[in-house]
């Protein structure tokens, strides 16, 4: 570049954009070509809006997931670049293809997502927090796996998510080389990163349909699926792809401030005037028929609530909060003391 012009190699490097193909000095060359990585990045880029919508729905926060930086790297090299403590969540592909797949996150973003799902602040990485993180990443991963199934023409089934905290020295990805997708994730205006990893043979077979994955059964494309489920939290595997019935988790897109037109704003304003039934439930109990028939004036019914225990607040018969009974002038009222977390509400629906 002494004469001020660019060589063809330098032009190619600039055109590669956010696809990183570099390897450590003296290390093995990447097994995927720049074109293969570009194809895979384009596939993932089409899913970021759905991933953001799923996370927004679960956390109740404004979430933006940006297109990822994609690269092929030796597993040892990737691990050396991680923080001292990380959380790995494995969500391997088990049918359609068998391949390693999952997420690696630092402690900060792990506790942030887990805390939002649990409706708590400053959470520790307890078993409950890791379980909440598993659920959140499983929902975030849904659009990705659906897209992979559509592109491959296979029904892809994943195992239930399994997460744990590791030190960098203890971490093992179980494969020698991985394709990593590093997503910039913005939650309430604060930037974080979430890294998803894939087995290299799986990515190669995906972007080169004529080269099936070695672990893919020969008759997989013609095998009919038995159903679709999203019950990772109950230990059930998840089926995605064109061979399965088109059953999907309901997705509620997030609308950034100012992104709605006048017509949409008017429609939302109409919804704001709709009345919904709000009930405060003091408690419940069960009685035999003979006890109910024997009731009369003065009968005392003991409920399943203890004195001073919060009462349940329901909207359209769905629990949304808890509170304590108060007296306002001559009327009873309720002071809200706890809002049910998005994760608890999601579990009630599934």
| Rounded distance between C-alpha atoms, residue 142 and residue 157, angstroms | 11
* Cβ–Cβ < 8 Å for 54, 63: no
| Rounded distance between C-alpha atoms, residue 260 and residue 255, angstroms | 7
Is 8-240 assigned to CATH 3.40.1550.10?
yes
Helix axes 34-45, 200-207, angle to 10 degrees: 80
Residue 342: predicted pLDDT: 67
* Cβ–Cβ < 8 Å for 68, 51: no
Residue 96: predicted pLDDT: 81
Give Cβ neighbours of residue 213 (< 8 Å, ≥ 6 apart).
Answer: 97, 99, 201, 202, 204, 205
With CA atoms as reference, report the closest residue to 132 among 93, 154, 105. Answer: 105
Q: Where are the beta strands (DSSP E) in 214-330?
A: 238-240, 278-281, 311-315, 318-328
Residue 2: predicted pLDDT: 44
**Coil, helix or strand for 130?**
helix
pLDDT, averaged in runs of 10, over the chain (350 residues): 50 45 45 90 91 87 93 94 95 89 94 89 88 90 87 84 93 94 93 95 86 47 38 46 50 50 67 82 88 87 83 85 84 85 64
Phi, psi (deg, nearest 5) at residue 318: -110, 130
Residue 282: predicted pLDDT: 84
Residue 20 CB coordination number (10 Å): 17
Residue 231: predicted pLDDT: 41
| Rounded distance between C-alpha atoms, residue 262 and residue 347, angstroms | 35
| Rounded distance between C-alpha atoms, residue 31 and residue 23, angstroms | 11
> What sign results for the dihedral spanned by CA atoms 37, 38, 42, 48?
positive
Helices and strands, counts by H and E, the chain: 10, 15
Residue 58: predicted pLDDT: 85
Indicate the domain borders of the chain.
8-240, 275-349
Give Cβ neighbours of residue 112 (< 8 Å, ≥ 6 apart).
Answer: 187, 192
The strand pairing partners of 158, in sequence order, are 93, 238
Alpha helix positions (H), 24-126 = 34-45, 48-59, 75-80, 107-118
Give buried/exposed letters for 52-82 (b at 16+ CB in 10 A, else e).
bbbbbbbbebbbbbbbbbbbbbbbeebbeeb
Strand order in the sheet with 331-339: 278-281, 311-315, 318-328, 331-339
Residue 257: predicted pLDDT: 47
Residue 258: predicted pLDDT: 47
- Look up the CATH architecture of domain 275-349: Roll (2.30)
| pTM passes above 0.75 | no
């Amino acid at each position: 570049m002494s004469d001020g012009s660019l060589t063809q190699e330098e032009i190619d490097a600039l055109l590669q954009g956010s696809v990183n193909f570099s390897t450590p000095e003296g290390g093995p060359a990447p097994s995927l070509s720049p074109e293969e990585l570009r194809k895979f990045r384009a596939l993932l880029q089409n899913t970021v809006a759905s991933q953001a919508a799923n996370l927004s729905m679960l956390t109740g926060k404004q979430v933006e997931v940006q297109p990822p930086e994609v690269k092929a790297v030796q597993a040892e090299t990737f691990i050396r670049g991680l923080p001292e403590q990380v959380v790995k969540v494995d969500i391997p592909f088990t049918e359609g293809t068998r391949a390693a797949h999952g997420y690696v996150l630092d402690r900060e973003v792990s506790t942030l997502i887990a805390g939002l799902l649990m409706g708590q602040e400053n959470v520790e990485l307890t078993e409950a927090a890791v379980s909440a993180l598993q659920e959140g990443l499983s929902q975030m991963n849904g659009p990705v796996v659906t897209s992979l199934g559509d592109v491959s023409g296979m029904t892809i089934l994943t195992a239930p998510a399994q997460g744990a905290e590791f030190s960098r020295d203890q971490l093992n990805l179980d494969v020698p080389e991985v394709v990593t997708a590093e997503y910039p994730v913005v939650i309430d205006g604060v930037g974080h990163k979430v890294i998803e990893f894939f087995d290299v043979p799986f990515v190669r077979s995906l972007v080169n349909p004529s080269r099936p994955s070695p672990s893919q059964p020969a008759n997989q494309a013609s095998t009919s699926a038995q159903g679709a489920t999203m019950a990772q939290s109950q230990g059930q595997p998840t089926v995605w792809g064109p061979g399965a019935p088109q059953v999907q988790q309901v997705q509620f897109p997030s609308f950034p401030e100012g992104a709605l037109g006048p017509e949409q704003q008017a429609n939302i304003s109409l919804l704001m005037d709709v009345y919904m039934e709000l009930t405060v439930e003091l408690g419940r109990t069960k009685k035999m028929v003979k006890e109910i028939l024997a009731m009369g004036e003065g009968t005392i019914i003991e409920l399943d609530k203890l004195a001073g225990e919060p009462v349940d607040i329901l909207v359209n018969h769905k629990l949304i909060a808890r509170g304590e009974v108060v007296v306002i002038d001559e009327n009873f009222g309720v002071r809200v003391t706890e809002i049910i977390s998005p994760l608890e509400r999601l579990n009630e629906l599934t």
